[in-house]
Structure 1
Amino acid sequence: MNLARQLSYSRGEEGTVAEKSAGDGRAAGAAGAGAGAHGIAEIGRRVLRLRTERGFTQRQLAEPAYTAAYVSTLESGKVRPSEAALRHLAGRLGVSYEELTTGRSPRDATRLRAGLTDARRALATGASEDAAKLLRELHAEAERRGFAEERAAVLLGLGDCALDTGELTAARDHFEAAERLLADEPLPRRVPAIRGRATAHLLAGELRYSCYLLESAIDELNASGLHDPNALLLLYTAAIAPYMDMGAHGRAVRAAELALALAPSVDDPGLVARMHRGVARTLIAEGRTAEADASLAKAQELYEQLRIHTDLAHCHWMRGYIHAQDGNLERAERELRIARDMLASKRAALFTVQVEVELADVLRRRGRTAEAEALLLPLLARSPVSGEAVAHAVGEPEAAGLTAERGAVHAGGAHRLLGLIADERGDAESAEEHYCAALSLLERTGAAGDMADLCRLLGDLLRREGRLEAAMDAYRTGLGHRAAPGTTTLGPAPAEPPM
């Protein structure tokens, strides 16, 4: 089983038959480690270490088939050992042929794989901190033993843990390290790390770069003929969110269509569930809320079967958004509170505060503006008016707040809602400050639709204040963001795979 996918495509599914065969091929060809000078030297050092640990002399290790001189030249990396010689030495040293040639002890590898399974289970149930602790221990052991494949799998897991807890810089570092370890592997093996990096940049508000990473990988896969359905489905599904945030709705819809076409070729239920979540978002944007709800119901059923609790919370989150779009604010509030409580209990700090922004919008629309304002202000790292630090909600640490580098789109949304609340109570000065703060946050993200809406709100406010020239400037800026969504910031769409 390919460990690099063990903590990536889903949080609990096995790799494909082809991957397992590839792994078997690597093990069977382990003697090829002696094909290069570096491999010969590594084997020599390994023989020297094992011989010393066991207290053998070179003669005792060599006899009866070889000489002490042969062992000496092998340990110094000056001779290319034959398979027969390696099997003889492995038998004398009491290790397997694979361990001698690759440094991988089957027992150690089995123990690491079991640990990865435990960590994957903890991550699936939302115990991100417990999973991260176990993964850090596994990473230290894998690094000490030189198990590159296991290290990559552990790093992917640590990256997913960091995404859950909102530590975006750490998440990027883990995914980048995993990608470096897999640099010589085929691109489908590296796709989970690329997807992880793109997601971290998306959550940080770097929408264009997120799209660039995903589209580049899609183009490379299709150009090279590596039409791996798991890899492509993962990439197209991940691309939907940044496309939607940037206002590139047509491109998001096409990614959803391609994902749906790929789904029958994928046997990973976790990946299929994630696809249904992404597709639901495009359906919501098209006003097809009943279909979106049905798509989310499919995802929710799969997540419940797999016991993937954090992603199940995301389904409640999106269903709350659907009900809000339909005007069923009571059901929307109920679903969003379920999502918030589930995420908060799993210490998914960044996702928790993002849900709270959505919940505050529903509360404001229900006329409970004081509750909405009380929920929003603690989410922002600094007060937009005074610049002073403010306390954070539900006992979260200061790092749980929204900033320009951490949840910029939702930070902009929080300021937008606070601006609306101030505007509704006649506090034009505070409303303008919040609208401008939101525009400043969103400008670097490329979230075209949100920026257009903010420019309209700001223009209306300025017009009511009699500042007509400033209002016209705001309207013109907004129209610029509404025209041809996505085309001003994204290049040509990636090539499509043959279906």
Structure 2
Amino acid sequence: MSRPEPVVAGAAASGLGARVQRLRAERGLTQRALAEPRYTAAYVSAVESGRRVPSADAVAHFAERLGVTPSDLNTGRSPAEVVRLRLRLAEADLAGSADETAAVCHEVAEAAVELAEPVLEARARLGLAGVALRRDDPGAASAQLDRAELLLAGAPPHVRAEAAVGRAGLAYHAGDPRYARYLLTEARDALLRDGYPDPSVLLVLHAELVRCHVALGDEEAAAEAATQALALAVLAAPARVADLHLSVASSLLASGRTVEAAVAAEQARQAARQVAMRWLLACCHRARGQGRRRAGDLAGALGDLARAHTVLTDAGQPALAREVGVELAEVYHALGQPARAEALLRDAVDRGGDPSVAARADRVRGLLRDDDGDRAGAERYLRAALAGYRAAGRRRELAAVALLLADLLEGWGRPGDAIDLLREGLHQVEQLGERVAVLRATA
């Protein structure tokens, strides 16, 4: 075996040793496996701890075993290592749990500092900010965003826009969708104005705008933003595409084709981002479906709402899935498919959930019963809808159902009951209006 070098302490030794240790751990090698046949495990331990500086021959041996160049190992600035870390970020977007995503992002952020890669570190910190919001920790999210924005200060506009998306997400989480919409709109307009219309970034901006428009009650703007987003979400199976690009990038790295691997890594990242956005894209399908329904395109609405319902159910968003299920049932009713509408309503309604969702389902059930000639059932469900909308404080919907039921009662030869219902409904709408006025005055 080769004779060990003398003990030399210092920052250079420590930095090199840390790189050797990290790369060895990432590749699943023991100290003995890295050392043999020329060195000892004790020698590798001394190098990793910074107590010894390896010779050029030892560096070359370690670099070969670790799959990097000696220069990469000495300086820590390895194009191949940067590509590996970019692949790790793509894997973070594909991760199923917040804990797994956070672990990968922490790993990448620390490695990016050593590699002096500010954009890579910023993207890892944006991932950590997203995890913090999922954990309902806006303070931690804000700290990560602050750091990311500083790191991206000199980056191109389409890269800085990624931080704007994170800042908008924080504002939305804080209950300020109006400010979130302003940040997203400014970022989008700047990219288009300055000649940086990056499709992957525009996709995220438009998709995030959808939920802001929905929260602000602007249905037309939500449908338009959803249409823009879905036009850019062109991958039918993004998870499969991401896996394929990850495999290609890994193979290219193994054969030393770093530049080509970097291209594959970026393609993997863009596909993986669509996977991470799957529930948000489902909301885009919902918003576009609602817009198509308003325009009379029932077939288009059916396709979009069915897609949204499936994805939200699979993504573990039961409350949103129930809402979309009721909307989908309305479309099936309009298309003359009552059995499918009824099946969705059975699955969609959760009496312990949002009373307005249950009320909307009761309204559809009332219409289905009326279509079947079941007047008693229709009245029972529509009166349940009235009670639900009243409990939810939904004045417009309450008034609409009151008018609907009054028309039915009139048609059934019960004009007196229709007048009584309208009188009571008007009184309840007025009461809700007074309650809203009081709340606004005291806010």
Amino acid aligned to 1:54: V
- Equivalent residue pairs, number: 320
Where do 1:136-147 residues align within 5 Å? Answer: 136-145=102-111, 147=113
The corresponding residue for 1:457 is: 400
Where do 1:325-404 residues align within 5 Å? Answer: 325=294, 327=296, 332-333=301-302, 336-345=305-314, 352-363=321-332, 365=334, 366=336, 367=338, 370-378=342-350, 381-382=352-353, 384=355
Give the superposition deviation at 1:112: 1.8
Give the superposition deviation at 1:473: 1.3
The reply to whether residue 181 of structure 1 matches residue 147 of structure 2 is: yes
The corresponding residue for 2:257 is: none
Give the superposition deviation at 1:435: 0.5
Task: State whether residues 290 and 301 of structure 2, in contact with CA within 8 Å, keep that contact through their aligned partners in structure 1.
Answer: yes
For residues 57 and 377 of structure 1, the distance between their equivalents in structure 2, rounded to whole angstroms, comes to 63
User: Which of 235, 239, 245 does residue 303 from structure 1 map onto?
Assistant: 235
Give the superposition deviation at 1:57: 9.6
- 1:303 aligned counterpart, secondary structure: coil
The percentage of aligned residue pairs carrying the same residue is: 20
The corresponding residue for 1:391 is: none
Where do 1:227-246 residues align within 5 Å? Answer: 227=194, 229-230=197-198, 235=205, 238-246=208-216
Q: Identify unmatched segments of 5+ residues in structure 1.
A: 1-42, 64-89, 257-274, 281-295, 385-411, 440-450, 481-487, 489-499
Give the superposition deviation at 1:182: 0.8
CA-to-aligned-CA distance 1:271-295 (integer Å, 9 cap, x gap)? xxxx6x3449xxxxxxxxxxxxxxx
For residues 432 and 216 of structure 1, the distance between their equivalents in structure 2, rounded to whole angstroms, comes to 39
Task: State whether residues 282 and 308 of structure 2, in contact with CA within 8 Å, keep that contact through their aligned partners in structure 1.
Answer: yes
For residues 332 and 56 of structure 1, the distance between their equivalents in structure 2, rounded to whole angstroms, comes to 62
For residues 62 and 370 of structure 1, the distance between their equivalents in structure 2, rounded to whole angstroms, comes to 73
Amino acid aligned to 1:303: L
Q: Identify unmatched segments of 5+ residues in structure 2.
A: 1-8, 18-44, 64-68, 242-273, 368-377, 406-418
CA-to-aligned-CA distance 1:453-481 (integer Å, 9 cap, x gap)? 3353377589616337624516867999x
Q: Which has the higher helix share?
A: 2
The corresponding residue for 1:416 is: 360
Task: State whether residues 313 and 338 of structure 1, in contact with CA within 8 Å, keep that contact through their aligned partners in structure 2.
Answer: yes
For residues 349 and 174 of structure 2, the distance between their equivalents in structure 1, rounded to whole angstroms, comes to 20
Give the superposition deviation at 1:113: 1.9
Where do 1:198-217 residues align within 5 Å? Answer: 198=168, 206=175, 209-216=176-183
Alpha carbons of structure 1 residues 299 and 152: separation in structure 2 relative to 1, 3 Å: closer
Amino acid aligned to 2:424: R
The reply to whether residue 111 of structure 1 matches residue 78 of structure 2 is: no
For residues 219 and 197 of structure 1, the distance between their equivalents in structure 2, rounded to whole angstroms, comes to 12
For residues 429 and 170 of structure 1, the distance between their equivalents in structure 2, rounded to whole angstroms, comes to 38
User: Which of 141, 154, 161 does residue 191 from structure 1 map onto?
Assistant: 161
Task: State whether residues 322 and 349 of structure 2, in contact with CA within 8 Å, keep that contact through their aligned partners in structure 1.
Answer: no
The reply to whether residue 436 of structure 1 matches residue 390 of structure 2 is: yes
For residues 111 and 457 of structure 1, the distance between their equivalents in structure 2, rounded to whole angstroms, comes to 58
CA-to-aligned-CA distance 1:117-168 (integer Å, 9 cap, x gap)? 4555xx4xxxx628x67644422422554646445434545777x79xxx84
CA RMSD of aligned residues (A): 5.7
The corresponding residue for 2:123 is: 153
Task: State whether residues 143 and 151 of structure 1, in contact with CA within 8 Å, keep that contact through their aligned partners in structure 2.
Answer: yes
For residues 218 and 324 of structure 1, the distance between their equivalents in structure 2, rounded to whole angstroms, comes to 26
Amino acid aligned to 1:454: E
For residues 54 and 281 of structure 2, the distance between their equivalents in structure 1, rounded to whole angstroms, comes to 60
For residues 427 and 62 of structure 1, the distance between their equivalents in structure 2, rounded to whole angstroms, comes to 81
Alpha carbons of structure 1 residues 217 and 57: separation in structure 2 relative to 1, 3 Å: closer
Where do 1:83-122 residues align within 5 Å? Answer: 108-119=81-92
User: Which of 447, 466, 475 does residue 423 from structure 2 map onto?
Assistant: 466
Task: State whether residues 399 and 426 of structure 2, in contact with CA within 8 Å, keep that contact through their aligned partners in structure 1.
Answer: no
For residues 129 and 166 of structure 2, the distance between their equivalents in structure 1, rounded to whole angstroms, comes to 7
Give the superposition deviation at 1:195: 2.2
CA-to-aligned-CA distance 1:397-449 (integer Å, 9 cap, x gap)? xxxxxxxxxxxxxxx4454343564694335763343113433xxxxxxxxxx
Alpha carbons of structure 1 residues 454 and 210: separation in structure 2 relative to 1, 3 Å: same
CA-to-aligned-CA distance 1:305-363 (integer Å, 9 cap, x gap)? 96557487667656654554355657744653344335544656565444323223334
Task: State whether residues 333 and 362 of structure 1, in contact with CA within 8 Å, keep that contact through their aligned partners in structure 2.
Answer: yes
